[in-house]
Structure 1
Amino acid sequence: MSIKKLIQKYNQLAIVFLLGFFVCLNCTAQKANPWKEMKLITKSIKQTSFSSQTYNVVQFGAKANTDLDHTEIFRKAIKECNERGGGVVLIPAGKYKTGPIHLENNVNLHIEENAELLFSTNPKDYPLVRTSFEGTECMNYSPMIYAYQKTNIAVTGKGILNGQAKNENWWQWAGKGYGHIKGAPSQQDPENRDALVAMGENNTPVSERIFGEGHYIRPNFLEFFECDTALIEGIKIIDAPSWVIHPMKSNNIIVDGVTIESHGPNNDGCDPEYSKNVWIKNCTFNTGDDCIAIKAGRDGDGRRVGMPSTNIVIQNCKMIDGHGGVVIGSEISGGVSNVYVENCVMDSPELERAIRIKTNSKRGGIIENIYVRNLKVGTVKEAVLKLNMFYAIYGDQSGTFIPVIRNVSLENVKVKNGGKYAILANGYEQSPIENVSLKNVTIDKVETNFSLKNVKNIHFKNTKINGKKIRD
């Protein structure tokens, strides 16, 4: 081994050692300098690397702006690219109709500017794959773009990925609004979502949780399942059936410069779940649900997997419409730690909260070490910071798994209109929300400063709300 390679290997080992050292520190206290740790995390994330060999889909029979189904054409191009050692599968300008696209190792699917993929709205075009729905694993319709246990993969370019999910297509399956007709089948029917959640609770093998046709559970749009070293860069995604970008049980994921415009039901922009070393940067989110929502499994199924989401870095993003800008939960049973948010802008009368953590005693989970700095907020509806251990949107969400929320820090935050509350926090008496700090935070206008229940160790430094300095 050359001296240069020895030095590179030594540096990599040093970074791994330092990360391990930080993880072993006492988690019940705020980190001394979390932003140094963040830089170590971003340096440690593996980058994709591809051969320059290009496989233009036109050479495989693709014809833009026609009614041709390109599913098999794209599959052949990806297969040949993979078998020849990898490279770029190029989709040039034009519109292309297709079913699901499944990536292989060492393939960069590149959608050129002015290219648009129009994904089929016929559920029968989507085979069953191992996936998940709202935090419970199952066999369900394939996502539009999918990779399972792959390494070194990418979706890049300036093109558009169009899920065509509006109303009478996938969205009506949500069961209310979005074109749903009363009495028509939907995910709300007992044999659909409720049946899946029960399977998760009963530890039914995932291979036996068979849904798909006849069950009306919407697929996610772009899902990397148990993948390592992946890049999603530059593309625009519109009108997804459900969650838009979903790294699931994956490691070393970069989402860079992506634009998401999707206002359907459960249209979260990016949902890292059971994943680590995820870097989301330079993106724009305009969504029908949370802009970014960090997940870790639902209830019994989340505890079965027992895999936290950790080392999530979010930088230089813009959040427009959404239920929350950066959200943790509610599918969070495996826990979330080490989240870093910096240099983001959030602003819309339809954005409900800036930073939000949501869980309950059915979910449980430990949520800790959440750091936010250099945040600019124009308008939010409900709260700048919302921490809720009693989240419930439907049905009884109480149980015996009392959650933990600790170590949440906001620094250098400017808010014009904070809505109803600066901080809305609700913890358990036996498990109070611990260690919340605001430093250099200015909220020009808000109806009520705080609504705090069972919050322990909350601190303010150089913080002003409605023109008045706030003290501990």
Structure 2
Amino acid sequence: MQNKLHRSFFSFSIVLVFAFLTNCSAQKGANAILANPWKVKQQIEKSVVVPVFVNKNYSIVDYGAKSGGLINNSEAFKKAIEACAKNGGGKVVIPSGKFLTGPIHLDNNVNLHLEAGAEILFSTKSSDYPLVRTSFEGTELMNHSPLIYAYNKKNVAVTGKGILNGQADNDNWWYWCGAKQYGWAEGRGNQNDPQNRIRLVESGEQNVPVDERIYGEGSYLRPNFIEFFGCTDALIKDVKIINAPFWVIHPMKSTNVTVDGVTVESHGPNNDGCDPEYSKNVIIKNCTFNTGDDCIAIKAGKDGDGRRVAMKSENIIVKDCKMLDGHGGVVMGSEMTGGIKNVFVENCAMDSPNLDRAIRIKSNSRRGGIVENVFVRNIKVGQVKEAVLRINMFYNVYGNQTGNYIPQVKNVILENVKVKNGGKYGVLAQGYKELPIENVLLKNVTIEKVGEAYSIDNVKNIQFINTYINGKKVASPKGL
């Protein structure tokens, strides 16, 4: 029976924290992390290897690069990277100035370093981007190369105080999404043609080999901006990234990834700030996200292709970040078929009239997947539109998304969260009767100016400890 619940308020004993964790800890394999999640988070941090590079510099100018933004310097970038890798690695340096180029492919032990005042302008000619193995919305394919790409590499980085400019706008890349607000008009191609995105999703369902999923020119599937695919020990530090065609930072099947001090300002369609997918041990810290879609969205493949790969995204740490515009601050899904495990979010600030939700988990029964062990603490939220915590297992954006793979969510804990303007709901959660959302805890949470404390369907064991909404202490629902 569905439990449709709305606010009720009374005090609750702290003893329930122990009861909550005891109940959660009965789940196989969950004992250690639920007993002391932040200790586990520290252990994960210590295990992440940050790349170290030989102290050698290779300036692109020495390989023929010309500034000004008019001459394509692809060959100069390629030669500098090849020389750097051949000689044991180091920095490929972009000095102050504007340098136009096509896609940049990194190699082992190479740090692409932008000095202060440097700006890389990426070509807007789709024909400049060759086919590589990549991913589009959670399905692998052969498509246009990401703007910066590393495939099966080790010890790679993009660093420095310069700017990475994808030059996407309503005339370049963005209109491919098929939305008029991003420049699409009748007669212009777009991803929604049945031979494009729809065909790709079907190929994933039919398990077509990835190297036979040929797209690229005429398919209108936009490339990611920075993609580490199958990499180990990768770093993105300090750069500013603007005007992305699609997802901005995309660690894909990678391990030990650090995103530190990066600023993302890009308001195009699907302009997620950072999307770790099938990746393990990822730290995102000291960053600012001002985006056209989710600020951070943790992924794990979509539908049939996600079941083929069957890899989790796990041990994801987000700390000391600032989220401005975006559909969600920290999001899990909707491409989460492989599963997401052990997410830690702390010491972040989220605030914008254009920020829809603070923490969000989304999937559907076509996608499936499990999200477990999400720990959030010390968060300050100025304003959100819809909800502070949103869990939606019926997410639907491309027509009918129902199937036979009911998604799971369990163990979501929010502590020490302060919200000035909570929008419509403190907690808005919708699960399945067959597989309810399990174990949601809000402890030491204060939410002001919110329409309703909570609205939940099919949630098992939700508790409020020392939580105040609109100035009143919230009681845990009975019978759940």
Does the 8 Å contact 2:270/2:293 carry over to 1? Answer: yes
Q: How does 1:204-215 map to 2 (within 5 A)?
A: 204-215=208-219
Structure 1 letter corresponding to 2:329: G
Deviations 1:279-330 (A, max 9, x none): 0000000000000000000000000000000000000000000000000000
d(CA) in 2 for partners of 1:28, 1:300: 31
1:268 aligns to 2:236 (yes or no)? no
Matched residue of 1:82: which SS? helix
Tell me the equivalent position of 1:108: 111
Match of 1:9 in 2: none
> Does residue 54 in structure 1 map to residue 57 in structure 2?
yes
Structure 2 distance, partners of 1:215, 1:40, is 44
Q: How many angstroms apart in 2 are the aligned matches of 1:39 and 1:30?
A: 11
Residue type at the aligned position of 1:103: L
The aligned runs of 1:338-353 (5 Å cut-off) are 338-353=342-357
Alpha-carbon distance between aligned partners in 2 of 1:462 and 1:366, rounded to the nearest angstrom? 28
- Name the residue aligned to 2:157: 154
Match of residue 461, structure 2, among 451, 457, 469: 457
CA contact (8 A) 1:408 1:435 kept: yes
1:82 alignment partner in structure 2 = 85
SS at match of 2:42: helix
Q: Give runs of ≥4 in structure 1 deviating > 6 Å.
A: none
Cα deviation, residue 182, structure 1:
2.4
Q: Distance in 2 between the 1:405 and 1:66 partners? A: 48
Deviation at 1:190, TM superposition (A): 0.5
2:273 equivalent to 1:285? no
For the Cα contact (< 8 Å) 1:28–1:406, is it kept in 2? Answer: no
CA displacement at 1:26 relative to structure 2: 2.9
**Quick one: distance in 1 between partners of 2:30 and 2:287?**
30
**CA positional deviation for 1:95:** 0.3
Matches within 5 A, 1:26-425: 26-27=29-30, 31-176=34-179, 177-425=181-429
Alpha-carbon separation, structure 1, partners of 2:28 and 2:458: 26
Distance 2:225 2:361 in 1: 24
Separation (CA, whole Å) in 1 of partners of 2:328 and 2:33: 24
SS of the equivalent of 2:67 reads coil
The CA distance in 1 between the partners of 2:284 and 2:314, in whole Å, is 13
Gaps spanning 5+ residues in structure 1: where?
Answer: 1-21
Label 1:66 to 1:269 Cα distance change in 2 as closer, same or farther (>3 A): closer
SS at match of 2:390: strand
SS of aligned partner of 2:77: helix
Partner of 2:7: none
Q: Using the alignment, how far apart are the partners of 2:31 and 2:255 within structure 1?
A: 25
Between the aligned partners of 1:25 and 1:270, the Cα distance in structure 2 is: 31
* Number of residue pairs aligned between Structure 1 and Structure 2: 450
Once the two structures are superposed, residues 90-140 of structure 1 have per-residue CA deviations (whole angstroms, 9 ceiling, x without a partner) of 000000010000000000000111110110000000000000000000000
1:29–1:435 Cα contact (<8 Å) kept: no
Q: Tell me if the contact between 1:427 and 1:455 (Cα under 8 Å) persists in the aligned partners.
A: yes
**Per the alignment, in what secondary structure is the counterpart of residue 34 of structure 2?**
coil
The CA deviation at 1:30 is 7.0
State the alpha-carbon separation in 2 of the partners of residues 175 and 183 from structure 1: 11
Using the aligned pairs only, state the percent identity.
Answer: 66
Contact 1:30 1:407 in 2 (8 A): no
Q: SS of the residue aligned with 2:220?
A: coil
Distance 2:365 2:332 in 1: 15
Q: CA deviation at 1:444?
A: 1.4
TM-score by length of 1: 0.94
Letter in 2 for 1:248: M
For the 8 Å contact 2:33–2:40, the answer to whether it is kept is no
